[in-house]
Amino acid sequence: MVTILLFIEASLVLLLSGTAAYLGRFLDLPGVIAALGVGYVSYLAGGRLFFLVLFAFLAVAGTATRYRYRQKYGEAGRAVRSWTNVVANGGVASAALLLGVNAGTYRPEFMAAFLGAISSAFADTMATEIGLLYNGSPRMITSLRRVAPGTPGGVTHYGFLGSLAAVAALWATLLIPSDLTGVRVDAVSALILLAATGFTGSLFDSVIGGLFQGRYRCTICRRVVEVKKHCGETSILVGGIPALNNDVVNVLATILGAAVGLVFALNGADVLT
């Protein structure tokens, strides 16, 4: 049940974090509006802990994106993240929470689906952002051949460490004392759920991304990129399916993460005690 106090608390926290995300150039204005939607859903449907999980994802992944941005994406790479990215990463998680609430009673399987979707999106984002810091050439996950940095499906041990950091950050958030969150979490079940869904999601993202995602070559900087426009010019399609862009692959990976979380909970492993 949503109390008026929880609504006021959520509004204040979201106003502050939304302003910070905008001023810190983590998100553009449509991105902030989308994040506020996802934020309200997680706060009001899931409660304080589930908002903190979402917040940890956006803050840590956002910081990782900003870190050495030009080295990773070139002088004129993608700008700040927008609403499509927020929806692709947080849409499935929000839907899982809304389904859990609509059922009327407390439904732990939907909470597990939420955590699975977030862990999958977070692990995958961190694999990309930390993986791109690697100076050598990544290897294509399907063929193990060396490929240019930024190629969808290319993996590095840096990327693996990035996924590990995402799982650790979410786990640390879930271990926040229950006096603050009102929710008691089983530490071992939580770690297993986060690791299983995080690594499944980022592995899926790499394999599907490597096999089917649209790949382009920038006509200016010659990098292989996953966006249709780079350095202000239209890039040339060099492989994959154009409709299957990074956002679509992300959504599919979070659906898989949510499904793994759901199966986990349906088999009796309850993260919340």
Residues that bind Zn ion (CB under 5 A): 218, 220-221, 230-231
Residue closer to Zn ion by CB (options 48, 215) is: 215
Surface-to-core class of residue 23, CB atoms within 10 Å of its CB (0-12 exposed, 13-18 middle, 19+ buried): exposed
In the complex, the smallest distance separating the C-beta of residue 30 from Zn ion, rounded to whole angstroms, is 24
Cα–Cα distance measured from residue 110 to residue 102, given in angstroms and rounded to the nearest whole number = 11
Surface-to-core class of residue 96, CB atoms within 10 Å of its CB (0-12 exposed, 13-18 middle, 19+ buried): buried
Residue 229 backbone phi and psi in degrees, to 5:
-125, 130
Rama region for 134: left / alpha / beta (φ>0; ψ in -120 to 50; rest): beta
In the complex, the smallest distance separating the C-beta of residue 218 from Zn ion, rounded to whole angstroms, is 3
Rama region for 54: left / alpha / beta (φ>0; ψ in -120 to 50; rest): alpha
CB 257 within 8 A of CB 201: yes
Residue closer to Zn ion by CB (options 184, 222) is: 222
SS3 for 241?
strand
Residue closer to Zn ion by CB (options 78, 230) is: 230
Residue closer to Zn ion by CB (options 151, 163) is: 151
In the complex, the smallest distance separating the C-beta of residue 61 from Zn ion, rounded to whole angstroms, is 23
Residue closer to Zn ion by CB (options 73, 114) is: 73
Burial of 208-237, coded b for 16+ CB within 10 Å and e otherwise, reads: bbbbbbbbbbbeebebbbbeeebbeeebee
In the complex, the smallest distance separating the C-beta of residue 121 from Zn ion, rounded to whole angstroms, is 26
CB 96 within 8 A of CB 172: no
Residue 262 is encoded by which pair of tokens?
A: 């759901």
Residue closer to Zn ion by CB (options 219, 273) is: 219
Residue closer to Zn ion by CB (options 12, 220) is: 220
In the complex, the smallest distance separating the C-beta of residue 132 from Zn ion, rounded to whole angstroms, is 14
In the complex, the smallest distance separating the C-beta of residue 77 from Zn ion, rounded to whole angstroms, is 7
In the complex, the smallest distance separating the C-beta of residue 226 from Zn ion, rounded to whole angstroms, is 12
Residue 154 is encoded by which pair of tokens?
A: 């290319």
